[in-house]
Amino acid sequence: MHADALRHFYGYHFAENRALWERYVTQLTAEQFAQPLTYSHGSVRDQLLHLMDVDDVWFSELQGIEPLEPASASEGDDRPLLRARWDAIEQRMRAYLANLDDEMVSTRPITEPDEDRNLLVWQVLLHVVNHGTDHRAQLLRSLHDLGLETASQDYIFYVYEHS
């Protein structure tokens, strides 16, 4: 696995995260945004928090740094704060990826927790994008159920537009 290929794959991840936000999350009413849902991590808000916090935790583990403080429970429509949080997490990820080289992808930098010590960088990086795709799919279904017309997030469409 090459660093440039991983950066390309993260271009897809970041683009789909932003598209999810801009196409759908911004259209929701405050009630829809916070409405408890029975699948996955709950409301659209809570699912988004899970998605961004998992990205931050894995990238923090790769770098041996502390993740951001978890977001607190919301009392109202906190989308501007959450968008700023997601932007900050994405910037931290982009900074790491900018310094990624081909030798790094086969290293094992994680020391804690024990279960992650044998993971190679490329395995973690693929996992994070895969995790994001899974949760975006769950969110797209939830958004559809809330009455929004959603579209595909297939990687190949990103490739067609960014070859």
For the chain, give every domain's residue range: 3-161
Give me the DSSP letters along 45-97. Answer: HHHHHHHHHHHHHHHHHHHT-PPPPPPPPPSS--HHHHHHHHHHHHHHHHHHH
Say yes or no to pLDDT of 76 above 90.
no
The CATH class that applies to domain 3-161 reads mainly alpha
Q: Is 106:23 a contact under the CB 8 Å cutoff?
A: no
pTM given for the model: 0.93
Overall average pLDDT of the 23-33 stretch: 94
Give the 3-state secondary structure of 54-68: HHHHHHHHHHCCCCC
108 touches 119 (CB < 8 A): yes
What tokens does 93 get?
Answer: 């990820």
The pLDDT assigned to 37 comes to 79
pLDDT tens profile 122-134: 999 999 999 999 9
Q: For residue 70, what pLDDT is reported?
A: 82
| Cα-Cα end-to-end distance for the chain | 18
Q: DSSP class of residue 120?
A: -
Which of 12-16, 37-41, 55-59, 106-110 shows the lowest mean pLDDT across its residues?
37-41
Given a cut of 70, is residue 75 above it in pLDDT? no
62 Cβ contact partners less than 8 Å away, ≥ 6 residues apart: 96, 109, 110, 121, 124
